[in-house]
Structure 1
Amino acid sequence: MVDHVTKERRSWLMSRVKSKDTSPELRVRKAAHSLGLRFRLHRKDLPGKPDLVFPKHKTAIFVHGCFWHRHKNCPKATTPKSRRDFWLEKFAANVSRDERVSLELRDRGWLVETIWECETKIDGPLRAQLMDIFGLE
């Protein structure tokens, strides 16, 4: 299958993909703050620079995009039809890095949680997930 956009347009679109302050991350931050949870952002002294760090709870949360980090059984985790080998290699490297970083954090005594992009769409379930992670009622 042929790509529907030019190479230049695709490059421009990909350059707009952010790694920090994404919409899903902002939704998680807002929900956590509304629950009274206080956190730090992107701590450089921790492996993988977790999106949200809760020092009081020694918990690190990563807010992963379903496409980039390959959320299993999620419709957003599609594989582009062009340059398939490139994408499969890229996705495998992302997943491998995620596993390595989580292991490093756990070895340091941190609880590591992942919240997927698709799980941030509705506030109620997101808040419930955060409450479950932190044992809130």
Structure 2
Amino acid sequence: MKRSRYATPIFIIGTHDEEGNPNAINAILREMSCSDPQHISISIKETTSTHKNILYNEAFTVNIPSQTYIDEIDDLKIECGKHEDKFTSSGLTPVKSELVDAPYVMEFPLALECKLVNATEMGLCTSFTGEILDAKWIESSC
């Protein structure tokens, strides 16, 4: 068994800002909150660009990377989306979803395209629940 450098799964949330620029952030997956229709919940701090973008576009993607991209994932944590184009700085490629107003990451093997259905404030974070409209399995990324 190969050991991972990170202890828990990493999820990258993709959004667009008001001008259509792509953004990405590491996030905590709260849960698969419903199976029919499929829903997923994530928690995002209110102070982030991603929080604002999700509320504005009512959409986000959940991207699940392979271990190959651990350095690029670290770059996404370090940079601030308000001041830096995270995709350019990390070298990752945003792909505009055809179903929701949010990008997914071309290099990552799995992307869930989600339409916002609920936002619940929880202290410093907001729990966003999205209906999964599509799941993209990108074989060349595996």
**Higher percent of residues as strand:** 2
TM-score range, shorter chain: under 0.3
TM-score (norm 1): 0.27
**Higher percent of residues as helix:** 1
TM-score (norm 2): 0.26
